[in-house]
């Protein structure tokens, strides 16, 4: 990524929550690894999926099932998006272009696809920086919060959500409500970059690590970067810098 692209990335992520530009910013992260990447082409792919999803949503009775259900069917059953269980630590799982092409990813990049398609289909969906496992928040038919595991497109019941929380935190207690609040676009991008940083540090890929740290510097204010060894999540704790991608 050259200086001009870096300035463009910094400008994009400086725009408030930058949710509408989330996919573009995520693709710019990927473009640092794939210099010839055509960002508009991948946005067009999301546009196509969004149009398909909108038709399915409009054809469904909104009083019977949450609006996100036909979107999940389209992406996970018809299109075959899924979590990459066999090569979980493959850095391609963190690059949005590769996730769209291969239909494989980790929770956070699959969430970016799901959120982007939902937005285009008129379905409420926000990312959630749940500890250890990124989630997507939507609403049920009564307008109550509903949570989706983007790794497999599964709507989580209360028991599953508690189990996931206990596995991630080691705490056999009620889920901290703060861990279920929507994440900003900047927080999502920071978590994506932290995942890549963890991979490149562990595997000793210094050139790639330097690129990621440069992007982190554009995303995170300079005065915070020196002590930023983890991505904060809404509970006030932190996600340790480790290869536990989420």
10-60 pLDDT, tens digit per residue, is 877 776 555 558 999 999 999 999 999 999 999 999 999 999 999 999 999
Is residue 203 scored above 80 in pLDDT?
A: yes
Q: Is 39 exposed, middle or buried (0-12, 13-18, 19+ CB in 10 A)?
A: middle
Which pLDDT score, from 0 to 100, does residue 2 have?
A: 73
Report domain extents, the chain.
3-239
Q: How far apart are CA 199 and CA 106, in angstroms?
A: 13
Q: Which residue has the higher pLDDT, 60 or 244?
A: 60
Which pLDDT score, from 0 to 100, does residue 58 have?
A: 96
What's the CA angle centered on 193, arms 79 and 187, to 5 degrees? 85
Q: How far apart are CA 114 and CA 49, in angstroms?
A: 10
Q: Which residue has the higher pLDDT, 206 or 226?
A: 206
Which pLDDT score, from 0 to 100, does residue 21 have?
A: 84
Question: 236: how many CB neighbours lie within 10 A of its CB?
Answer: 9
């Amino acid at each position: 990524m050259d200086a001009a692209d870096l300035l463009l990335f910094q400008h994009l992520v400086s725009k408030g929550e930058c949710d509408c530009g989330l996919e573009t910013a995520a693709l710019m992260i990927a473009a640092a690894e794939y210099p010839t990447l055509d960002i508009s082409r991948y946005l067009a792919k999301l546009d196509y999926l969004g149009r398909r999803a909108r038709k399915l949503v409009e054809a469904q009775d909104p009083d019977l099932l949450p609006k996100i259900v036909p979107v999940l069917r389209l992406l996970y059953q018809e299109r075959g998006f899924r979590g990459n269980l066999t090569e979980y630590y493959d850095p391609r799982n963190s690059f949005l272009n590769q996730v769209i092409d291969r239909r494989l990813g980790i929770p956070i990049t699959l969430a970016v696809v799901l959120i982007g398609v939902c937005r285009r289909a008129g379905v409420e969906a926000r990312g959630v920086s749940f500890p250890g496992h990124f989630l997507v928040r939507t609403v049920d038919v009564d307008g109550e919060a509903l949570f989706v595991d983007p790794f497999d497109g599964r709507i989580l019941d209360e028991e599953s959500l508690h189990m996931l929380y206990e596995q991630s935190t080691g705490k056999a207690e009620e889920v901290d409500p703060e861990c279920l609040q929507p994440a900003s676009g900047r927080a999502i991008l920071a978590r994506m970059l932290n995942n890549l940083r963890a991979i490149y540090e562990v595997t000793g890929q210094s050139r790639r690590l330097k690129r990621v740290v440069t992007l982190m510097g554009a995303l995170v204010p300079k005065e915070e970067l020196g002590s930023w060894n983890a991505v904060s999540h809404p509970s006030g704790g932190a996600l340790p810098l480790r290869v536990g991608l989420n």
